[in-house]
Amino acid sequence: MKNILITGGAGFIGANFVPYFIDNNPEYHLVNLDLLTYAGNLDNVKEVEKHSRYTFVQGDICDSNFIATLFQKFQFHDVIHFAAESHVDNSISGPEAFIKTNVLGTFNLLDTARKLWMSAPNQYHIGFENSRFHHVSTDEVYGTLGETGLFEETTPYAPNSPYSASKAGSDMIVRSYFHTYGMNVVTTNCSNNYGPKQHDEKLIPTIIRKAIQGDSIPIYGDGKNVRDWLYVLDHCKGIELAFKKGKAGETYNIGGRNERNNLYIVDKVCAILDEMKPKASGSYKDQITFVKDRPGHDLRYAIDATKIEIELGWKADENFESGILKTVEWYLRKYAN
Ligand SMILES: NC(=O)c1ccc[n+]([C@@H]2O[C@H](COP(=O)([O-])OP(=O)(O)OC[C@H]3O[C@@H](n4cnc5c(N)ncnc54)[C@H](O)[C@@H]3O)[C@@H](O)[C@H]2O)c1
């Protein structure tokens, strides 16, 4: 049985990934390391808490002594690294935590893995020859697009927020460990995820929650910002595929070819709610209000996922219209409690 370290597995994407990975990979015992910041919640992984191949550890990826001890104890064969500060708005009001967790935390994990797995550049210890470090990153590192064009793996990095800059920094450190030490790393850069278990602060949960509470539904600026929305389980499947079949040192973009602007999103969610949970009178759309735009708000992100589709055979199973139905149902159940 191999031990795999999953960081950030009590957050949104990690908590969707953990049960999926445990089910699909009986050869692994999974250790979920999470600091349980405001964004982490063990309720997100309740379905696996008693699983024989699952262990939860609370701790900070920035604490190098703690991380070294953990690697010694579990002799991790592989790492899939999700943990991060992830909310752009928070990175504008408090950037320091983003630099610490996303840059320093990633460095700590990577360097500890290198020391456990390797004796010198390109030389792996026996038993760790196939060990892999998978870094989960974002398309936001590429900056913003105009009306046309797509982010490719070769698009130059141009991060615009402290969040995306910190993720870009972590991607560069991961890249350097391949080129300098010959370490077996893979990075995936994904577009905006949506689906169950996302924190209340994010756009789609906010729309649903405010709508059913009868509050105004805040939309930034004119609502024309475009994101390429991907159902979270499709992202998890892409990560698993790149982790298992991706080429060392490569990066893979993951995106669902589902570009939608915020106006479309809010209209669509309100229309679904009008069907599923009709108001006494009128539509949830009446609650939409436009608020002052986020500073430096990127206009458009869109992913060209050709590389992972062609080279690894990945394909999104959901389109936005199918995924959003499941998502609204899930939050209606959550907010009913
Ligand atoms: N959400 C998206 O749309 C999206 C898209 C592309 C890439 N990503 C990337 O995917 C990863 C996961 O994103 P998410 O949306 O699930 O984030 P999230 O904020 O929901 O979860 C992050 C998790 O990391 C944990 N964490 C934070 N700081 C930590 C620390 N110092 N030590 C240990 N654990 C810590 C938190 O407690 C939380 O459980 C991030 O690296 C993010 O950059 C997210």
> Domains (ranges, CATH) in the chain?
2-198+228-259+302-319 (3.40.50.720)
Check if 323 has its Cβ closer than 6 Å to any atom of ligand 1: no
How far is ligand 1, taken at its centre, from the CA of residue 171, in Å?
A: 15
Check if 255 has its Cβ closer than 6 Å to any atom of ligand 1: no
Residue nearest to atom 5 of ligand 1 (CA): 192
Check if 105 has its Cβ closer than 6 Å to any atom of ligand 1: yes
Q: Is the dihedral of CA 211, 232, 112, 108 positive or negative?
A: negative
Do the beta carbons of residue 94 and residue 100 sit within 8 Å? no
Give 157's DSSP letter. Answer: P
Read off the pTM. Answer: 0.95
Q: Is 15 exposed, middle or buried (0-12, 13-18, 19+ CB in 10 A)?
A: buried
Give 63's DSSP letter. Answer: -
d(CA 304, CA 107): 28
pLDDT tens, residue order, the chain (337 aa): 999 999 999 999 999 999 999 999 999 999 999 999 999 999 999 999 999 999 999 999 999 999 999 999 999 999 999 999 998 889 999 999 999 999 999 999 999 999 999 999 999 999 999 999 999 999 999 999 888 899 999 999 999 999 999 999 999 999 999 999 999 999 999 999 999 999 998 999 999 999 999 999 999 888 998 889 999 999 999 999 999 999 999 999 999 889 999 999 999 999 999 999 999 999 999 999 999 888 878 888 889 999 999 999 999 999 999 999 999 999 999 998 7
Check if 83 has its Cβ closer than 6 Å to any atom of ligand 1: yes
Residue nearest to atom 44 of ligand 1 (CA): 138
3-state SS assignment for residue 17: helix
Which residues are identified as catalytic? Answer: 139-140, 163
DSSP-H helix ranges across the chain: 12-24, 64-74, 88-93, 96-98, 106-117, 162-181, 203-213, 232-245, 262-276, 306-312, 320-336
d(CA 255, CA 237): 12
Residue nearest to atom 7 of ligand 1 (CA): 138
Strand partners, 137: 189
> What is the residue type of 49?
E
